[in-house]
A and B are shown apart, each in its own frame.
Chain A
């Protein structure tokens, strides 16, 4: 059974800090790994997509890595800002759908 786990469930950091969010998955036969952001009461915004043949993707202050052998992905946020406060979800692409973790709720304190 595919499972995706995100630790920690919640994280508070002061503005300006660099931080890492973790995602673990049980099925090594993944297609893609996708990171999303969800603001309270809103939908999901795709942040980064890492194809299974890739090791990392970067967009602005965000960098996502993928290590299939250990079943892990990390999302690195540099120089965090209060506007980064949201829930971050990772999702592993399976045969027919995306399997989501339960998310990490990030609060960046001004």
Chain B
């Protein structure tokens, strides 16, 4: 049973380009969470998705950022017109249901985005 798979592991984009980050959850998990980690900082919640639904996007910047989790395929975090401040590690986590007393959240290895 593969864990959470994120790709690419490293992504370099020039300012103004688009970045697309992919996350395949643990098989059978229907809940996906995206977090951002700036250098020397903790993880900040961005968005929580279920299949075909955005449940909580309170941590997403209002502009340029979007996320989806389609019925088929991985979850995608999309950043348009990237700026230097978007450089960070982006982590994806999945769980069957995070409120379930018996569930853990499993994290991917992250995508390290560098904007040059």
Q: Which positions in A face B, CB cutoff 8 Å?
A: 31-32, 34, 36, 41-46, 49, 51-53, 89, 91, 93, 95-103
Specify which chain A residues have a CB less than 8 angstroms from the CB of B48 in the assembled complex.
96-97
Are the CB atoms of A44 and B98 closer together than 8 Å?
Answer: no
> What is the CA–CA distance of A91 and B107 in the complex, to the nearest angstrom?
13
> What is the CA–CA distance of A98 and B74 in the complex, to the nearest angstrom?
21
Enumerate the 10 nearest inter-chain pairs by beta-carbon distance, A residue then B residue, closest first: A102-B42, A43-B109, A44-B107, A96-B56, A100-B43, A97-B45, A100-B42, A96-B48, A49-B104, A51-B101
Number of interface residues of B (CB under 8 A): 26
Closest to B56 in A: A96
Among A46, A49, A97, find the residue whose CB has the most chain B CB atoms closer than 10 A: A97
Least CB distance, B45 to chain A, in whole angstroms: 5
Are the CB atoms of B99 and A98 closer together than 8 Å?
Answer: no
> What is the CA–CA distance of A45 and B110 in the complex, to the nearest angstrom?
12
